[in-house]
Structure 1
């Protein structure tokens, strides 16, 4: 699994690429939709990492 910093950096790079593609091709273009899915996967990966880290660090209530 990648480190959170690597994932955040990739998210930022892909976000810029998505913006560039959308500006050039329009929001309905296949390339834009494909890039959006790539970005979604990166965000999901980052969120899974954060959730698992939070879940593992929880202290028992009792």
Structure 2
């Protein structure tokens, strides 16, 4: 499993945790908000890695 695949698995795990927390505490609870911030950071990190990988693969004109 490469780094991007591991990141996708982690994102999905954290997304499931966010849903569980939201079901348990409601959307405005501090734990839910903190989990949402963590998930956002992971998604942003994944997108950055993906974008940089795409840039490397594109031929220069």
Q: Into which bin does the TM-score normalised by the smaller protein fall?
A: over 0.9
Specify which structure has the higher proportion of helix: 2
Structure 2 residue runs of 5 or longer lacking an equivalent are none
1: CA distance, partners of 2:26 / 2:46: 27
Structure 1 residue runs of 5 or longer lacking an equivalent are none
TM-score (norm 2): 0.93
Aligned-pair RMSD on alpha carbons?
A: 1.1
List, as ranges, runs of 4+ consecutive aligned residues in structure 1 with deviation greater than 2 Å.
none
